[in-house]
Amino acid sequence: THMYNIYCKLILLMWLMMCVVDKSAFVCTLNPTCHELLCELPLCFDNYFHAQQGEVESGTRRKIKRLLSFQRYCHASRLLRGLVPHTPGSLHLLDDDYLGQAAHMLSKVGTWNFDIFLFDRLTNGNSLVTLMCHLFNVYGLIHHFQLDMVKLHRFLGMVQEDYHSQNPYHNAVHAADVTQAMYCYLKEPKLAEQLSPLDVFLGLMAAAAHDVDHPGVNQPFLIKTRHHLASLYQNTSVLESHHWRSTVGMLRESGLLSHLPADMSQDMEQQLGSLILATDISRQNEFLLTFREHLDNQDLDLQLASHRHFILQIALKCADVCNPCRVWELSRQWSERVCEEFYRQGDLERKFDLEISPLCNQQADSVPSIQIGFISYIVEPLFEEWHRFTEPSLLSQTMMGHLHKNKARWSRLRYAHTPSDTQTHSHAEEPEPEGGGGEGEDIP
């Protein structure tokens, strides 16, 4: 706490002495030398807390990160020229080459082979904030809901910072990837013409925040370790409830919706909760059976707000587990990341003499085996129904094509290598088939 107070005072003093902030333009002009010093401070303090507390991110350290979020997004604001005026000569965190490449990627954000890992590097780790601001601008949501730009950036910065960067899978890059997939689904011809601005707002917000503050372990782990979140939410949708409540807390702290009527903002919070809670994998059969029943009866009426909301729930569920439907180069990276997170949980369970959870035993559960099971029991059934719903669209056909090819590839890897070869990495794979199967094509 003492170090945190000193740091706050130091940042405030340097900010007042060296910065000229134009709030309306949302840019920051600094003396270059002072700017370099100011940018080094976060790293120094971050290293200090890392050394003091190891891999566990303390509340104090998270507060310090949040202090800097507003400043960092001011420096990266050139990507947001379509949103706000730009002051010539202002100094920015990213150079022109990187900004140009990131802006070019945003022009293709609606294509299915969008590389979120590259985009995150080009935006200096700000992929979620940058993507959300761009999509809000594309849909005109800032104007429609009369959102305050400073409050919007503050909220998005808080969301991005509250994802745990040390998680291999459940981090802000995953949130940005799900948001990009959600955008592709919102553009589906059968859905796009029926959506209201509120539907789009809720869909994008839920995608961005659906895993916020994820601890990197699953619900059974929280329950068997008697974690306070499990007690708070009575062992039911523990993580999803926490993601939702955390999102509501940040909405209120940022004041993003404070200008709206109370009943409207409360309804938006409840609908966000309904969307985020739908990502609970334990409710998969519940949603799948209802979706299949609607399709069999052909009684979906997208003129009804309740039916549109249900489709948004299904779309978010699809976006959350769409990694096996991506091109192999991206899909493989996500597979390795999620398995690494599983294995870390298994190591924790072994350390504390707990029963190792399914899929978390690095000695027994290989990446190919985990992925084949995930595709067979979770992804394929869901996307087959989504394929029916879209009647089917070009995007849906592309996703199903990648899904089947990736499953076949994991099957070959499972039988081609011993478990030790594929437990943590699957780069030693068979050669790419001739022609590549069209996996790099752009799909609108």
DSSP code per residue over 369-391: HHHHHHIIIIIHHHHHHHHHHHS
Ligand-binding annotation for 320, yes or no, is yes
Cα–Cα distance measured from residue 413 to residue 410, given in angstroms and rounded to the nearest whole number: 5
How confident is the model over 329-336, as a mean pLDDT? 99
- pLDDT at position 110: 98
Q: What is the pLDDT of residues 351-397, one digit of tens each?
A: 999 999 999 999 999 999 999 999 999 999 999 999 999 999 999 99
Where exactly are the structural domains of the chain?
A: 1-93, 97-317, 321-429
Please give the structure tokens belonging to residue 279.
């990502």
Give yes or no for a contact between 127 and 117, defined as CB atoms under 8 angstroms apart.
no
- Is there a catalytic annotation at residue 153? no
Ligand-binding annotation for 387, yes or no, is no
Q: Which residue in 238, 216, 237 sits closest to 227, CA to CA?
A: 238
Please give the structure tokens belonging to residue 181.
């997939």
Ligand-binding annotation for 209, yes or no, is no
Q: CA of 122: how far to CAs of 180, 311, 441, in Å?
A: 16, 33, 21
How confident is the model over 408-417, as a mean pLDDT? 91
CATH superfamily assigned to domain 97-317: 3'5'-cyclic nucleotide phosphodiesterase, catalytic domain (1.10.1300.10)
Q: What is the pLDDT of residues 195-249, one digit of tens each?
A: 999 999 999 999 999 999 999 999 999 999 999 999 999 999 999 999 999 999 9
Ligand-binding annotation for 303, yes or no, is no
- pLDDT at position 184: 99
Ligand-binding annotation for 365, yes or no, is no
CA angle 153, 159, 160 (to 5 degrees): 85
Q: What is the pLDDT of residues 12-70, one digit of tens each?
A: 555 555 443 333 333 333 333 343 333 434 444 444 444 444 444 455 555 555 554 44
124 phi-psi bin (left φ>0, alpha ψ -120 to 50, beta other) = left
Ligand-binding annotation for 180, yes or no, is no
- From the list 75, 92, 134, 170, the catalytic residue is 170
Q: At a CB cut-off of 8 Å and minimum separation 6, what does 79 contact? A: 94, 99, 102, 103, 106, 123, 130, 133, 134
Residue 21: phi and psi, rounded to 5, are -100, 125
